[in-house]
Every structure is written in structure tokens, then in C-alpha cells.
Structure 1
Amino acid sequence: MTEVRDVESAARPTGFTQDQLDWVPWVEPIALADADETQRPLLAGQRGESPYFRLLARNAEVLTHRSANDKDIFYSREGLGRAERELAATVTSRFNGCEYCASVHSRFTSQLSRRDEDVQRLLDEGVTVRIDERWDAIIDFAVALAAQPPRPAHAELHRLRALGVDDTEIHDLVLSIASFSWANRLMLSLGEPEVPGACGA
């Protein structure tokens, strides 16, 4: 049974959601049983079940660097709290139209911040939503940097600093936004989200 399905057969989500989505690649990922000794360690655990990671494993060097960057950006114990790193990833994904990434990182944002309703408002209303002073400043900074081409963010940077966000925390925001500006475009060009269980094999 192939994992690559016709574009028209996928049951696309009808909007941005915190529900878990599947992801359907348009290029055949490697089968876990066919992974070589370089690819196999990169697919340990649940990653081996993911068509996305098995597709990226076709270029093991790129996946190695991508995984290291992800760990450094989102799991560092210093600097910005992880909830706001995830918020920046959610905003970037919402702005770029990546429903899959937005679903994953909005769930993390909700779990870590315990602000499910605010996160859902961001998904429903988009990046013009107004929530509170600090989250609004993060949202506007993320949108400025995620734009193509990126917009000058002098005013947004000043707002963050006025709210007590220090340079290390701003650096963490920049990394999160940059990482997902890249990740969104990669996912959007390699496949599409799918509602779990909505399509037959």
C-alpha cells in the first residue's frame, strides 16, 4: 500500500485547527525496513512512523542538521520560555498558511501556556488577532520577519524590549520564526495535511 495518494483523494482540513492532522507526501518516503545505517538512527522511535521524517531521510545529512536545529531552538533551557517559542512557530505557520505545522505547534502552545482559547482565536482570526500586550508584540514581530521579503521590524523590536523581552529572548524568537519560515515552505511543497481516518487506503 503506497503512502503517496492522489491530491484529489486527500480529505483536507477545512481550516486551522488544534486537532491532530495527518500529512500526505507527494513523493514516496523510504520504507523503514529499507533505511540504511545512516538513515536508521534518524528514524528511531515515532519518527519511523512519520512519512515526513521518512521522506526527509532520503537526504540524511539535511535531516541530521534539521533535527539538531529543532532541538537547539525549542528545547534550550535558557532564554525565552518554550510556550512563547511555540507561539512564534504557530504565528509563523498561520501566516504562511501551513495548516499542519500550525496544528502541531498550536497544541504545544496551548499545553504549555494553558491558554487554549487564546490560541484558538489566533487560528480562527489570523495574525491580526489582538490578545494581550505581550502576545500581540510577539505576533507582530513574527509576522514582520515571516513576510516575504521580511519587513523591517524596528517598531516591533522596540515594543518587545519595552515589555522586558531581553536580547537572548529576542534571539530565540528570531530562530523560531526563521526555522518555521523554512519548515512551512518545505512541508507545503512536499505534501498536504489530511484529516485522520477521512480517506480510505
Structure 2
Amino acid sequence: MSQEVITYPGLDRPEAFTQEELGWRPWLQGPEEQTLSERQYDGLVDRSRAKNDYFRLLALDPDILGARTRTDKDIFYNATEGLPRAERELAAAAASRLNGCVFCASVHSRFASHYSDRHDDIQRLLDGGVETDLGTRWNAIVAAAVALSKTPSQLGPGHIADLERAGLDTLSISDVIHGSSFFNWANRLMLSLGEPEAPKRS
């Protein structure tokens, strides 16, 4: 079934990567909240996500959305072992910065700042790009995320060795790999379905 593409001629688009909270506008019409079926709510996992344009659009395929949402939640909220939450968010922010997903970068950079208390370093990543020097450990995480985001085969033994030298154990390295890979895919999905909106100023 074909759908008409929605355009936003007067949309206030963000001019740069930011840690501010952004809006997001879909290019395709998703279901309205009041029309969602129980199967679609099951796909959302968290019913409050029904108020989000992006997740309602993905609810057009609730089974895939359910798998996507559970994977996303496991990556960021199941952090009692392996990579700390701040560095999971860092890897997602780095992938988003490389891929040009301004909306995803804003979300994950904000969380990385919150959990690491390194707001200025995160802002330097957004401003300067993925080559920004953030110190040995964070450089190794960003480099691995970037390699995976360019194409998975670019991640090589040197990246793993750098992560090990930076103090990451096997489980933490696995978190870097899986979190970065997932967000590389998530960025590209979001980039194909809509665009960010700058925060409204009072």
C-alpha cells in the first residue's frame, strides 16, 4: 500500500548536533494513538510510547517493533554487568554522530552526559566529530563504534586490542559491538522515515 509523503516546508530544523531535546516529524503517516490495536500496543512494549510519532509509525509492523524495542531496552537498561550505561550511550552517540542522525545523537549524547558527568567532552564529540580526542578508553569505544557503523568488516583485531588495553573485559567489548551495531541500524531506519525538529523557544 502506497502512502503520500508528508513534507514540512516551515519546519525549524536544528542547525548543528546538540544535546538539547529535539522533536521529530515523520514523512509517512502512522496510525493515530486511538486506533492502535492490542497487537500494536504489544509491539510498543511500553504503552506510553504510543504518544511518540516515531514509535507509532513503526507500529505498522508490530512484530518487528516488538523485537526492536526489547533489543533497545536490553542494550541500555540491562547494565548491571558489562559496559557501564554511560559508555553504552557513548557508543550510540558516536554511531549517530558518524551517520548524521541528529535526533539520535541528541538523545544518546544527553544520556551519556548524564551518566558520565562529562558534558563538555560529549559536546566536543558532537562539535568536532568522531576523531575528537576523549581519552584512551573513550577513544577506543568510539573507534570501534565508528568502524562497525562504516561497515562491520572494518572492525578488526586492532580495535579489540585497543578496547582490551583500555580495560574492557569480554562482556564489555561484546556490549560495545552489539550496541554500536544495533544503533547503526537504528540510525539508518530513523533517517529514512523522518527528520528532527529544533526545540521550540518561548
**Could you state the TM-score of these two structures normalised by the residue count of structure 2?**
0.91
Structure 1: gaps spanning 5 or more residues: none
Q: How does 1:149-160 map to 2 (within 5 A)?
A: 150-160=153-163
AA aligned to 1:66 is R
Between the two proteins, the alignment pairs up a number of residues equal to: 195
Please list, as runs of the form range in 1=range in 2, the aligned pairs for 1:29-68 lying within 5 A after superposition: 29-41=30-42, 42=44, 44-68=46-70
2:147 is the alignment partner of 1:144: yes
Matches for 1:49-128 after TM superposition, within 5 Å: 49-76=51-78, 77-128=80-131
Whether 1:187 and 2:187 are equivalent positions in the alignment is no
Q: Which ranges of structure 2 fall in alignment gaps of 5 or more residues?
A: none
Would you say 1:176 and 2:179 are equivalent positions? yes
Question: How far has the Cα of 1:101 moved from its partner?
Answer: 0.2
Higher alpha-carbon deviation: 147-156 or 48-57:
147-156
1:135 maps onto 2:130 in alignment: no
CA-CA distance at 1:45 after TM superposition: 4.4
Q: Give the AA of the match of 1:167.
A: T
The AA in structure 1 aligned to 2:131 is T
Q: Sort the Cα spacing of 1:130 and 1:18 in 2 relative to 1 into closer, same or farther, 3 A.
A: same
| Runs of 4 or more above 3 Å deviation | 43-46
Mapped pair 1:196 → 2:188: no
| Structure 1 residues 54 and 43: CA distance shift in structure 2, 3 A | farther
Post-superposition shift, 1:43?
6.6
Task: Kindly indicate whether structure 1 or structure 2 has the higher relative contact order, using CA contacts under 8 Å at least 6 residues apart.
Answer: 1
Residue identity matched to 2:65:
L
SS of the counterpart of 1:6?
A: coil
State the identity as a percent: 47
